[in-house]
Every structure is written in C-alpha cells, then in structure tokens.
Amino acid sequence: MTADLIAIQNPWWHQPDFGPADDHHLTAVIGAPFRLERKSLGDLHHEFGPGDIYVVRGARQVGKTTLLKEWICALLGRSVQGRDIIFLSCESIATFAELQSILASWIESRRDSLRLYLFLDEVSFVKEWQRAILWCANAGLLRNATVVLTGSNARDLKESSERLPGRRGKGLDIAIHPASPRELRELPCFSHLSDDALLELYFKMGGFPHALRDVVNYGRVTDETYRTYQNWIIGDAARYDLSIESLRHMMYRIFVTVGSRVTLTSLIEQTPLKSHETGLRYLEHLDDAFLCRTHYCYDVDKGGPAYHKSRKIYFVDPLLYYIADSWKLGLTNIWDLSVQLLSDAGFKGTILESCVVVVASRKYETFFWYSSKTKKEIDLVVREAGDIGLFDVKSAPEKHQNLLGRKVTYIGGTWLLEQ
C-alpha cells in the first residue's frame, strides 16, 4: 500500500477541522432515525490507555467501520492531533510484513508524539497479522499507543489474540451484533410501533444496518441489499477456499432444518458435501464468520454441551434465512418471499425461537435439552453464574411444567424486547 493510499484513508492528517460530516461512513447515519447507538468511548469502563489493544468483532457490514470512525472523531474532538491517529483498511494489505512495515514507518514518523492511536479495520484479512503487532510491541513501538483491531472471523481473532500474551494491556474484546428487537425499540423510526408490530417487522428485516435503512426509506428491504450481504458471504468463503456451491447448499440446509435437531450427516443431505468432516468445516466457517449459531444439547450429568448429540443450527439474524432460501432457489423479490414464509404459523414460530435463542446467547451460555426417553424438549437452557434457567419459546403463554426438577417458563415475543 503506497503512502498516497494511506493518506487518502486518513484525511484528518491534512484537515485540522475534520469532523463526522467529512466522512462518508458517518454522513450515511448522522441524524438518521435508523442510526444504531454503539459503544462510545464513555461507555468503556476506562478510556483508551497506552499499551491497550482492543478487538472489535462481528459480521461484515454490521457497523464495525462506522464505530471506528465515530471513535476517531471523538478523539479529534478531545484535541488529539490528527497526525497521531492512523486508520488502515486491511483488506488491501497483502502480508503481515507489509502491515509491519506500514506501522513501523508511521510510528517512527511520530516519534515525538506522546500518544498514538492505531485503528486497523478487518485485520483478519492479513494472514498472521498478529506477527506484525507482536513485532511492534516487542520493539517498544506501542508503549504509548492504543491499538484497535476489527475482524469478521471469530477463530482468527481468538487464536491470533492468544498469541499476544501480556501485550494487550487493559484492552477489551467488544462484540458488535445486528440490532436486537430491544435496540430497535430505542430507535425513533420505530417508536410508533407496538411491541408485537415491531417484532413482526423484525422477523422480516432483521437488524443489519442496511436493512434498517431500506425499511425506513422504502418500506422494505431491497433486493440490492440482500445481494450485498450475499456477496460478502461469498467473498469471505472464497478467502478460505470454500466451494461457493457447497456453501449455498449448506445455508439452504440450515434454512430448511432450523429448529430441528440435526446431526452433521443429516445436515449435509442433498448437498455436494460427501462427509460429515467436510460438512463440519463449512459449519465452522459459518460460525466463525458470525453468520450462524450452533445450539448444543445440554448434558445434565456433565453440566455442559453434549457435543456428540444432535444439535440445532440458527442464523444470527432473520435476514439470513431469506438470503439462504432465495440464493438456493434463484428467487428475486425477496421481501415478498419473507412475507409469504411468515404467513405460515409454523415457520413464524421457528423464527421466534431462533431470535430468542440468538439474542439470549449474546449474554448467556445457552443450550437446549432433549430426552430421547421421555420425548420431551426444552428450547432454551440458560446458565449464568452456576444457575440454570429453563425456557420454552411459544407465541402465547401456556401452563408451566416441571422438568429436570425445575420449572419451565414459557416466553413469547415480548421477552425479546425486555432482555
């Protein structure tokens, strides 16, 4: 990456009065009724400190870059000098050696600065990126710097971060998700809707930023937005040498089996995948890319997941179900497809279950429970601080039962807005 390309990404180096109105990521959301309030600097339990390395993780197109730009503008508003902040989009950086060279050269050019801030967006695009960070840390170049990394591959971020032992200071891991119904409730564009009406809308549009924008502006998610998200799914899979055709079939199988207990063998039925080992690779990719959630059966004796038993697979956002269905079948007018699918009470109930499980898993350790002996099932087992909560997801209240010696609580859509 040339010096000119780096400078283009950092206009505040040459524009002392740079602000949110000067950045295209921020101008798209400034004052918009669909703007999601993510973590501000003040929300963190401490301010960015020297030697801190933060990791912001989440799916592509979920708002990570916008968050970085908001933080940069906040620093500029606190009188941090623009030339003491660098932002790099790592998608066009070929190797960790190139990243290392860019960082070392810039830090050296700021040797007289007391504080530096490095924002590396989508760093997981750079293979072995942690080697560049580790080298800079070992060379003493980061002692006065705060580093903020974003990535869209959970496994890479976890494994690479673990290779920075003792180098992260007080830096945090921050997860960015598509908006939940509760977050939508706080947006002015949806304040006029009842809880039930908002949940109905959420089942169709989900919580990705572009989908919210479309619904506010056009009353529906456009096919262009569906294709945008589909294309980044394809692009990310290609980076890991996955077959796009096999991925298309795998996502469709998740769509048609959602809410059902599946084995890896049953999951890959009617797909080009020939073994459950290969199927596991594709499923793990979807998990790592923050696209789906594997929901394991609860092992009562071990008090944890029963990895050897059938599992449930949910997409992390309703939008992905309609992408999976339309992609496999080659359909357009995808918004109309979502309306048609949700007219079926069974499918709608399954989407409700999916949304409850996914939202709960962002805060708690979650499982389901099934007894082959009694043929009874609990949709959601929540473990927090050693305590266990049991929940069944229903659209309407039902009588309580006692299973595993604990009461089962039935929860409906409103629960999503209250957690």
Predicted pLDDT of residue 201: 95
pLDDT at 266: 92
Residue 144: the pLDDT is: 93
pLDDT of residue 374: 85
**Cβ 154 vs Cβ 290: under 8 Å:** yes
Output the pLDDT for position 394.
79
What domains appear along the chain, each with residue ranges and CATH number? 3-175 (3.40.50.300), 181-418 (no CATH)
Predicted local distance difference test score (pLDDT) of residue 155: 76
- Average pLDDT per block of 10 residues along the chain, 419 residues long: 89 91 86 80 72 89 91 91 95 93 95 94 90 91 93 76 67 86 90 90 95 96 96 91 95 96 92 91 93 94 90 97 96 95 94 92 92 88 83 72 65 56
To the question of pTM greater than 0.75 for the whole model, the response is yes
